[in-house]
Amino acid sequence: MADLAARHARVAGRAEAAVLEVLRSGRYVGGPLVNEVQARVSARMGWAHGASTNSGTDALVYAILALGLPPGGEIIVPAVTFFATAGAVVRAGHTPVVADVRGDYPNLDLERLPLRRCTRAVVAVHLYGEGCFLPGLDLPVVDDLAQVIGADPPPRNGTIGAMSFYPTKTLGAAGDGGLVLTDDADTQEAVLRLTHHGMPANNVHERVRGHVGANSRLDAMQAAVLLAHLDDLDARVRARRATAARYDAELPPWVQRLPRSAGHPIHQYVVRVPARDALRAHLAGRGVESAIYYPMPLSRQKALDGIEHAPTPEADRFCAESLALPVHECLGERDVSTVIDAVRSFDAGAFSP
Ligand SMILES: Cc1ncc(COP(=O)(O)O)c(C=O)c1O
């Protein structure tokens, strides 16, 4: 599903030279490379400012903290997403209330948000890179942009967003990293303060928007690696789109494609097949990897037991039927053909009801 060594080979010269330069500089925390990542990636995502963190999870935590909400409210999250979307809500002092997704696409359904008096915000996840739009909501919306880089234009709803530089993301570091996105310079400053122990000056610590800060910084070495990868981003997205176009055209008709907007970055290529587990086993038998993003709705995760979630029939169905096929930029034409041939050789008729 990813080949990070092959991906590194695409940028090895620049990345390795830049890391060596950082090592020799003695400047490891903050500095010009981190500032450059903040400026270039936020511009690419369509926001005025970026404040880096040490993971995408922390970017979500600090984005929520920067809203300055009273503690202990409910924040709505979609049923189909990586756990961090909900975990970050808990770590920011709120309760994640899981909402069902749309029937045609596993993003939040604006018509069925479990809005209550204590709902304080919504986290909109743009799953696999497809925009989740929630117009007209009278609540703050945090955009979870972890899977969106490369979208043209990048989707957004609210006044703050969070993205991830986890290595398998289309723009990934050689370790963890994240970025909070905002158009407001004061919010950028607030997040940078929160991620530096709320420290306006050496050993002076203040609350920021009601919160005590902590340490969550992007390292200069990760910034050096990210800048090398950033130069390869357009080529990656082009390669992913070409593979997606082949899957669209060449997979058999019993494979249900997800609808996709123009400019989609193809973070993942996900299909729906009722006999998903049998297909997955069949592909594995032919040496083709696949993955399930995600095997159960968040409301079924034990870590969120005890919270009153909305029922999630659409998410239940999606989680039982969906399968991600390999789509990363290091696949060759023959690799893509291998995947397509392996899917075609599956006897879907034998599994139809
Ligand atoms: C939708 C979503 N939200 C949040 C995260 C958390 O990011 P990280 O792994 O960088 O902490 C990820 C990725 O892992 C993600 O896919």
Q: Among 202, 230, 258, where does a domain finish?
A: 230
Whether this model's pTM surpasses 0.85: yes
Q: What is the pLDDT of residue 353?
A: 64
336 pLDDT band (50/70/90 cuts)? very high
**E strand or H helix at 264:** none
Q: Same structural domain for residues 89 and 31?
A: yes
pLDDT of 342 over the 70 cut: yes
Q: What is the mean pLDDT of residues 307-319?
A: 95
pLDDT of 352 over the 80 cut: no
Q: How far is the CA of 343 from the centre of ligand 1 (A)?
A: 29
Whole-angstrom CA distances from 16 to 35, 142, 217 are: 19, 35, 21
Q: Whose CA is nearest to atom 10 of ligand 1?
A: 56
Q: Same structural domain for residues 220 and 241?
A: no
Q: How far is the CA of 57 from the centre of ligand 1 (A)?
A: 6
Q: Same structural domain for residues 185 and 268?
A: no
Q: Candidates 143, 166, 169, 195: which one to mutate for ligand 1, based on the most atoms within 8 Å of Cβ?
A: 166
Q: Which domain holds residue 17?
A: 4-230
Q: Is 56 contained in some domain?
A: yes
Q: Is 16 contained in some domain?
A: yes
pLDDT of 349 over the 90 cut: no
Q: How far is the CA of 138 from the centre of ligand 1 (A)?
A: 26
Q: How far is the CA of 350 from the centre of ligand 1 (A)?
A: 37
pLDDT per position as a tens digit, 254-291: 999 999 999 999 999 999 999 999 999 999 999 999 99
pLDDT of 328 over the 80 cut: yes
pLDDT per position as a tens digit, 213-245: 999 999 999 999 999 999 999 999 999 999 999
Q: What is the pLDDT of residue 146?
A: 98
| Sign of the CA dihedral with 67 first, then 72, 73, and 76 last | positive
> DSSP letters of 284-344?
HHTT---B-S-SS-GGG-GGGTTS-PPP-HHHHHHHHHEEEEP--TT--HHHHHHHHHHHH
Q: How far is the CA of 170 from the centre of ligand 1 (A)?
A: 12
Q: Is 315 contained in some domain?
A: no
Q: Is 296 contained in some domain?
A: no
Q: What is the pLDDT of residue 291?
A: 98
Q: What is the pLDDT of residue 351?
A: 79
Q: Same structural domain for residues 198 and 256?
A: no
Q: Which of 143, 192, 191 is nearest to 163 (CA)?
A: 143
- Nearest atom within ligand 1 for CA of residue 166: 10
Can you read off the two tokens belonging to residue 183?
Answer: 């158009």
pLDDT per position as a tens digit, 132-186: 999 999 999 999 999 999 999 999 999 999 999 999 999 999 999 999 999 999 9
Residues flanking ligand 1, CB < 6 Å: 55-57, 81-82, 84-85, 125, 144, 146-147, 164, 166, 176, 178
Q: Same structural domain for residues 225 and 262?
A: no
Q: Same structural domain for residues 90 and 68?
A: yes
Percent of the chain with pLDDT over 90: 97
Q: Same structural domain for residues 255 and 202?
A: no
Q: Are strands 74-78 and 119-125 parallel, antiparallel or unpaired?
A: parallel
Q: Is 163 contained in some domain?
A: yes
**E strand or H helix at 92:** none
Q: How far is the CA of 144 from the centre of ligand 1 (A)?
A: 8
Q: Same structural domain for residues 75 and 127?
A: yes
As for how many domains the chain has, the answer is: 2
CATH number of the CATH domain containing 253: 3.90.1150.10
pLDDT of 207 over the 70 cut: yes
Q: Candidates 53, 82, 123, 270: which one to mutate for ligand 1, based on the most atoms within 8 Å of Cβ?
A: 82
Q: What is the pLDDT of residue 266?
A: 98
Q: Whose CA is nearest to atom 7 of ligand 1?
A: 56
Q: Is 306 contained in some domain?
A: no
CATH number of the CATH domain containing 158: 3.40.640.10
Q: Same structural domain for residues 154 and 286?
A: no
